[in-house]
Amino acid sequence: MDQNMKQAIIRGETSLGIEFGSTRIKAVLMNHNCETICSSSYEWENQLIDGYWTYHLNEIINGLQETYHQLKQEVENHYGVTLQTIGSIGCSAMMQGYIVLDQAGELLVPFRTWRNATTGTAALELTEKFQFKIPQRWSIAHLYQAILNDEEHVHHIDYMTTLSGYIHWLLTGNKVLGIGDASGIFPIDESAQQYNETMLKQFADLIADKDYPWSLKDILPKFYPAGNHVGYLHEAGARLLDPSGNLQAGIPLCPPEGDAGTGMVATNSVKKRTGNISAGTSVFVMIVLEKDLSTVYPDIDIVTTPDGCPVAMVLANNCSSEINAWLGLFGECYEALGLKIDRNELFSVLFNKALEADADGGGLLSYGYYSGENITGFAQGRPLFVRSPQSHFNLANFMRVQLFTAFAALRLGMDTLTQKEQIKIDRIVAHGGLFKTPLVGQKMCAAALNVPVSVRSTAGEGGAWGMAILASYMLHKEQDEGLPDYLATKVFNNGEGQEVDPDSADVQGFALFMRRYTEGLAIEQAAVDHFVVSKVFE
């Protein structure tokens, strides 16, 4: 037992990060040196209900409590201590989406996640009106689409927020956000550090004839950059998090953030000219900009770092869901033979097969479109695997193509930054579950983006660890110490991790795959048009 860790837990010299990802809720407890003490996770999955991807409120609460309970048990098992106090807490979640509450604090509609591709009309109209890219997943796009649809609940909105802001409100009673997550609710004026006033007025003009009892400015959350105190765990929040009653109220909380922001922190990518890639259910690249882009691009989003710097974001809705589905099927094969295999071992063995494959994946083709894909213009998706009689069909090529397609739509968006805007990327730091198997995801990503890819030992910890760092930064930053300096000197002072350069054969192979991928989009469209799931199978 590490006595220093035990004393840190007893004295509350710790920080807790909780992140609601698309497939896992994860918690990381760390000490003041940003070393992980214990972690826990809870698996969950979104559901398509009445045409919207969502998570039930009960599942949100249950997942929060179960994740904390498991963390508490880990602390007791390893250190013989009951967790009673924590130095600071931070909450993060999958970015944006749509949560609206009435005056009583009740959800007006089920949480609509970032995954919904139902706001195309609203996003396009707002982008043209603002001359600023409004993605479909942004909260303002969801709100305006609900207005265009004449949804009754819009009349009763008292507050609009994201999932991270909602969790923070449940724990503290404060309706606030971090600036990074807020930049995906509504565009932010970087210099003024407030919502863009011109666009607020333009939106007010758009809906002036609706005569709603609210103004947009009144229902938006206040936001703060990293380092601020934005509330304390109140009694109801402590009991919500820990129904046993052991956890004490009064713990300070930092601004809640989205998973894009925590990913930047977890990879030390908040300084200008740095970048990171996060690969999980979705996949996105964040490049911190030195200057504004020359024009508005349909596949480039502009958000901010947790300390308010502009970031170019390329996001593809689909990444690992189809890979997980196939590996689950392979796992069933083992079970059908009466064998048992560890899930992590299964992933490792099958991922490593991709290194034995033909450079282009043997002429195979796959689309992991579990949902719609914004970059290629699909409102709906159909997971699809295609081969010709001449394709070299074996396990190695199958696995390589599954990994290649996870990065394919992203590559189309990245070409906009690198070719049209001539943005130079020295390297990208990667994190997320796809990179937990050493080297494999890293090599495929380097081939797909044609840049060196670095992965740290903390890649698997991901955003929950990044959120814990933000909570720690709030307490321990020196006067006027910016977030980039804090990360460089206090967190990432032991190097950048293992870096892999693109292999020329892999790069050429990925180029061949991308030719098949772009030409085959008509096949994916045909699947969407003609393969309709019968009610019998839902």
Reported as a single tens digit per residue, the pLDDT across 142-157 is 999 999 999 999 999 9
DSSP state of 339: -
CB-based contact 450:502 (threshold 8 Å)? yes
Is the fold of 1-95+162-185+224-267+462-493 the same as that of 321-455+503-537? yes
When comparing pLDDT for 219 and 533, which is higher?
219
Give the integer Cα–Cα distance in Å for 267 and 538.
Answer: 39
- The dihedral built from the CA positions of residue 235, 238, 243 and 244, taken in this order, carries a sign that is negative
- pLDDT category at 1 given cuts 50, 70, 90 is low
User: Residue 363 above 90 pLDDT?
Assistant: yes
Give the integer Cα–Cα distance in Å for 380 and 382.
Answer: 7
Count Cβ atoms below 10 Å from residue 369 Cβ, excluding itself: 25
Average pLDDT over residues 404-418: 94
Tell me the β-bridge partners of 43. 24
Cα 53 from chain centre? 15
Radius of gyration of the chain (CA): 23
Q: What is the pTM of this model?
A: 0.82
CA distances from 213 to 155, 157, 174, 248, 386 (A): 7, 9, 22, 39, 52
Give the integer Cα–Cα distance in Å for 446 and 434.
Answer: 13
Each domain of the chain, given as residue ranges in start order, spans: 1-95+162-185+224-267+462-493, 96-159+194-219, 321-455+503-537
Per-residue pLDDT tens over the stretch 31-47: 999 999 999 999 998 99
Q: Which residues make Cβ contacts (< 8 Å) with residue 384, sequence separation at least 6? A: 366, 367, 369, 523, 524, 527
User: Residue 537 above 50 pLDDT?
Assistant: no
pLDDT at 536: 45
Assign domain 1-95+162-185+224-267+462-493 to its CATH architecture: 2-Layer Sandwich (3.30)
pLDDT at 360: 98
When comparing pLDDT for 497 and 474, which is higher?
474
CB-based contact 42:67 (threshold 8 Å)? yes
CATH 3.40.50.20 fits 321-455+503-537, yes or no: no
pLDDT at 538: 45
Closest CA to 353 of 382, 321, 330: 330
Give the integer Cα–Cα distance in Å for 186 and 196.
Answer: 8
Give the integer Cα–Cα distance in Å for 310 and 301.
Answer: 10
pLDDT at 168: 98
Count Cβ atoms below 10 Å from residue 15 Cβ, excluding itself: 30
Average pLDDT over residues 472-479: 94
- Counting Cα atoms < 13 Å in the Cβ hemisphere of 475 gives 23
pLDDT at 535: 53
pLDDT at 3: 85
Give the integer Cα–Cα distance in Å for 91 and 249.
Answer: 16
- pLDDT category at 267 given cuts 50, 70, 90 is confident
Per-residue pLDDT tens over the stretch 311-355: 999 999 999 999 999 999 999 999 999 998 898 899 999 999 999
Cα 374 from chain centre? 15
pLDDT at 460: 55
Least confident of 149-153, 260-264, 500-504: 260-264
Give the integer Cα–Cα distance in Å for 280 and 22.
Answer: 8
pLDDT at 431: 81
Q: What percent of the chain has pLDDT over 70?
A: 97
Q: What are the structure tokens assigned to 503, written together? A: 């292999």
- pLDDT category at 251 given cuts 50, 70, 90 is very high
Least confident of 248-252, 300-304, 468-472: 300-304
When comparing pLDDT for 496 and 322, which is higher?
322
